[in-house]
Structures are given as C-alpha cells and as structure tokens.
Amino acid sequence: MTKQRQKLLQKIATEHGTPVFVIDLEQIRANYREFKEKLPKVQAYFAVKANSDPEIVETMYELGASFDVASLPEFMLVHENIKHLPKKEKQDFIWDKIIYANTIKPAHVLTKLNCYKVLVTFDNIEELKKIKQHAPDVGLVLRLRVPNTGSMVELSSKFGAHPGEAVDLMAEAINLGLGVEGISFHVGSQCNNFDNYMQALNVSHSIFKEAKLRGLEIGFVKNGQRTKVLDIGGGFPVKYSPDVKSFTILAKKLNSEISRLFGKNRVQVIAEPGRFMVATACALVTKIVGKSIRDGKTCYYLDDGVYHTFSGQVFDHQHYPLHSFKDGEKKICATFGPTCDAFDTISLADELPEDLQIDDLLYAENIGAYTTGSATFFNGFPPAKVVYINK
C-alpha cells in the first residue's frame, strides 16, 4: 500500500473512529472494467452475497451489471436500490436484471419471485414441484454438479444435479409446463484450478446436445429466436498472494473454449463474479485496545475480530494479514478480536512491530469479499463503520 493511501486511511480512522471499513468505489469500477475487457461477451451478474453494501449495488448497476441473489432479502435489496435509477439506453438486461441462484427456495419466496418472473436455479425434482405450485411463471436454469478441486470454497457437495440426471430433470420441468432457459454451474469460490471450468463447459455442451437430440426446447425466445442461457458461475481468482493464478490466463482459456463449443449456437453466456469485483476494493482500519506478553509472544487485542470483519477467515477460509502504519522491526505476534471468546483469534503469526502501543492503528487490505456480509453483533460489539471513497 502506498504512503498516500496509508495517510488517507489514518485520516478516515481519525475522523470516523475504529473499526472502520473503507470501500473504494473507483476500484470496484476498475475491477468491473477489467472483467468486461477480458470477457467481453459475458454478462456479469454481481454475486450480492460477496458484499451487499447498497452503494456497491448501485455502483454495479450504473456500470451495467446484473445481479445474482441467493435470498429474498438480497433480491429486495437489489430491487429497492436500483428501481429508482435511470436505465441506460445501451444496456440489454434480461430477466429484470436478476437471477435467483439458490437452488432451494421456501414456498413463500417462490410466490414472491413469481410476480417478477425472474430466473431461478433448480437441481432436483422436489424443487420443480414447488416451483410448479408457487412460481410457474419464472424462468428455470438447471444447476449442474461440476468438479470443485482446487477451489478455496467448494460448493458441489451441497448444490448441483449429477450430469447424468440433467436432461431428465429438464424434460420433467418441460412436462410440468415450466420454461427451462438453460444451464448453470459453479466451480467453487476462488478457483485456482482452471481445468474445472474447461470440464464444466464440456459437460454443459454435451447436455445441451443431448437435450436437442431428445427434442427439448431449451432457452428463451426474443425477437422470434430462441437463445439458451449458459451461466458459468463465479470462482474468478483474486490475487491475494503470488501463488494465485492469473485471471488474464483464465479469461483467455474461457473465451477460447466458449467460442469453440458454443460459437455456432445462440447462447447467452452469463457469470456470477462476486469476490472478483469487491475483494481488492476494501480495507479495514482497526485499533489496538490491549496488549500483553503470553508465552514470550507479543499479543495485540483489537476492536475488530472474527465475529466481525475478519469473519471471512472462518466462513471464506481466507486470511487477511495485518499491517502497521508505524515502522519497526517485525516479530511474530498474535492478534485477537475484542470478544470474550478465545475463538476470536485473528492470527497467531502476524508479522508486526512488537513495540506498538494501545491506541495504535493497524490495517488489512483486500478484505472486501465475504467479510462485512457475515459480521455479527456477538458480545454486543457492532460491525465496523463503513466509509466510501471515490464516489
């Protein structure tokens, strides 16, 4: 981090107190532009669960993004925050700009979604029966089970139909009078194994081919032509560390394979980037509220922890190294959150100066994804304040 950015974070912490979560909206714009530049034929459906801050939602909409939601509150958050914004003339949004990508939905949620006729995913026969009863007007996308090997967070143990059952499930949906628009898959969050995408694309192509041979009409009709939906999910890697593979390389592979497999067909390719859009756009400033020496190691107690912004270490399996604004010889130190729970341990191996004092500030970078979204009020400690820059 540059000295200029460090000074800005310190100024924000002085003005607003700590802990403070700083969202750089210009960095989000830059991340979106990179995604569109490298995957120009893919419509980005921002995964709201990565960071549901309303300013981020509005920024993504203004850039031209659509949205992937996984709950009714997320759906309403998007709907309420964009319905007042002007529609861009050149934007070609489909399905009211939202896909509900949770394969399991309560009946009352389906009833609500039916009013909006959005896209929803499914992966089993029982869900189809619910959809038929409560949301017969929505568009359906079949979620496939695909390899998640090498991804930081795997998803296929909970979601996705086996490829061998896929065409039968689509046929059953059509027999029920429902409209099947296409196929989706997710190779797992923070995917560092690009073969997962290649395998999933080839499986999807085979399923579309089998569905055609069986005479199934898959896709949505627009201007008299039928177009299939191919949702390639998320998992696009963020460079948290040097060993993470390049998104540029992945994009080249995706463009090539999508063109080879689907270039001669009418296929609308969409994706669900979440982490990619927000991870690098946010920083946290936290304050040392206590200090001790335990078993010869310096321990710092902070006003933020794993029940709050650092919750991503638990639920997302991602570590966020802490840094000091002050210089000094670095030693291996322990960092703890503010709650009365030993589980609230940020790290036992942060490299920090051991002469820091109470009220000194620390910061963490690249902390925008799956962090504040899962923060709690445990022990009565509120989540970090949010401050926006470059609005």
Instruction: Residue 308: name the closest of 8, 98, 13, 20 by CA.
Output: 20
pLDDT in tens, the chain (391 residues): 899 999 999 999 999 999 999 999 999 999 999 999 999 999 999 999 999 999 999 999 999 999 999 999 999 999 888 877 776 544 444 445 799 999 999 999 999 999 888 899 999 999 999 999 999 999 999 999 987 876 777 777 788 999 999 999 999 999 999 999 999 999 988 888 899 999 999 999 999 999 999 999 999 887 788 899 999 999 999 999 888 889 999 999 999 999 999 987 889 999 999 999 999 999 999 999 999 999 999 999 999 999 999 999 999 899 999 999 999 999 999 999 999 999 999 999 999 999 999 999 999 999 999 999 999 999 999 999 999 999 8
Assess whether 320 and 255 both reside in one domain: no
Enumerate the β-bridge partners of residue 161: 144
Looking at residue 12, which CATH number applies to its domain?
2.40.37.10
Assess whether 241 and 304 both reside in one domain: no
- Of the chain, the end-to-end C-alpha distance in Å amounts to 20
**Tally of structural domains, the chain:** 2
pLDDT of residue 88: 55
Assess whether 237 and 298 both reside in one domain: no
Assess whether 140 and 150 both reside in one domain: yes
Residue for token digits 């790290």?
347
Looking at residue 29, which CATH number applies to its domain?
3.20.20.10
Assess whether 264 and 304 both reside in one domain: no
Helical segments of 264-345, H only:
275-278, 312-315
Domain of residue 337 covers: 3-21+280-389
Assess whether 296 and 225 both reside in one domain: no
Domain boundary among 246, 278, 310: 278
Assess whether 32 and 83 both reside in one domain: yes
Pairing of strands 225-231, 179-184: parallel
Pairing of strands 119-122, 43-47: unpaired
Structure-token pair, residue 297 = 């190691």
Assess whether 286 and 201 both reside in one domain: no
Look up 340 and say whether it is catalytic: yes
Instruction: Residue 16: name the closest of 388, 389, 387 by CA.
Output: 387
Assess whether 321 and 175 both reside in one domain: no
* DSSP letters for 145-159: P---TTEEE--TTTS
pLDDT of residue 116: 87
Assess whether 15 and 104 both reside in one domain: no
Assess whether 265 and 168 both reside in one domain: yes
Domain boundary among 228, 243, 278: 278
pLDDT of residue 96: 55
pLDDT of residue 85: 73
- CA dist list (Å): 23 to 54, 271, 276, 311, 369: 11, 23, 14, 17, 11
Structure-token pair, residue 132 = 């038929």
pTM of the predicted protein model: 0.93
Assess whether 290 and 379 both reside in one domain: yes
Domain boundary among 278, 297, 317: 278
